[in-house]
Amino acid sequence: MTDTTPTDLTNADLLGLAPVIPVVVLEDEDAAVPLARALVEGGLPAIEVTLRTPAALPAITRIAAEVPDAIVGAGTVVRPEDAERSAAAGARFLVSPGCTPRLQAAMVATGLPFLPGVATASEAVALLEGGITAMKFFPAEAAGGRAYLKALGGPLPDARFCPTGGVTPGNAADYLALPNVGCVGGSWLTPGDAVRAGDWDRIRALAADAAALGKG
């Protein structure tokens, strides 16, 4: 994996930080720092905090300030203002489930690296036309899974993906074996019951197992 620092990341670098990017939903911002520390200690420095709860932006701010080894990003970026607010909160990267020209322009304007979401060949081609080669493939399993991504490899050799959505410990290695997959996104690393109970040892162990999925 890369040893790139958060300040000089590119879109493509995001795919090489770790084999798995945890996709985190936080209801309580007080859980953000110990959770991030557990993930980092387990070997997963890149953490995507989804903008699905009121705690998300404060959690990003706290992780950015208190867990220096974490590379915290914002996920579920669906509006231009989401990109702007995430950058102001301290996010180091952005992830969107889909992409429109307006949303893309807003993410570019932040100066942060980002993974725009695609689910079809046409969407991937549109991003390639703009020079963007690193993308999120979402919802991975529902959109065709490993077979679909393998099929895209021939006509779109420059596109590389982070599949997310239905990726599990049981199929993550199969995705990572594809040459056009740099990493996967997964929500299994931070089970809700473990987060609520403060079971950071469990999360650390899940992260260590996921980190061991790295190629080679």
pLDDT tens profile 2-47: 444 445 799 999 999 999 999 999 999 999 999 999 999 999 999 9
Range of the domain at 101: 12-208
Q: Tell me what percent of the residues of the chain surpass a pLDDT of 70.
A: 96
Q: Say whether 129 is catalytic.
A: no
Q: Say whether 136 is catalytic.
A: yes
Distance in angstroms (rounded) separating the CA atoms of residues 58 and 210: 26
Q: Is residue 29 part of a domain?
A: yes
With 80 as the cut, is the pLDDT of residue 1 above it?
no
Residues in the chain: 216
Q: Is residue 157 part of a domain?
A: yes
Model confidence pLDDT, tens digit, residues 111-122: 999 999 999 999
Task: Tell me what pLDDT residue 5 has.
Answer: 41
Q: Name the average pLDDT for the chain.
A: 95
- Indicate which residue of 136, 141, 150, 215 is catalytic: 136
CATH code, 142: 3.20.20.70
Q: Are 22 and 207 in contact (CB under 8 A)?
A: yes
Q: Is residue 215 part of a domain?
A: no
Amino acid code (one letter) for 92: R
Model confidence pLDDT, tens digit, residues 78-112: 999 999 999 999 999 999 999 999 999 999 999 99
Name the helix (H) or strand (E) containing 70: none
- Indicate which residue of 27, 29, 41, 48 is catalytic: 48
Q: Is residue 116 part of a domain?
A: yes
Q: Is residue 203 part of a domain?
A: yes
pTM: 0.95
Q: Is residue 7 part of a domain?
A: no
Q: Is residue 106 part of a domain?
A: yes
Q: Is residue 134 part of a domain?
A: yes
User: Number of structural domains, the chain?
Assistant: 1
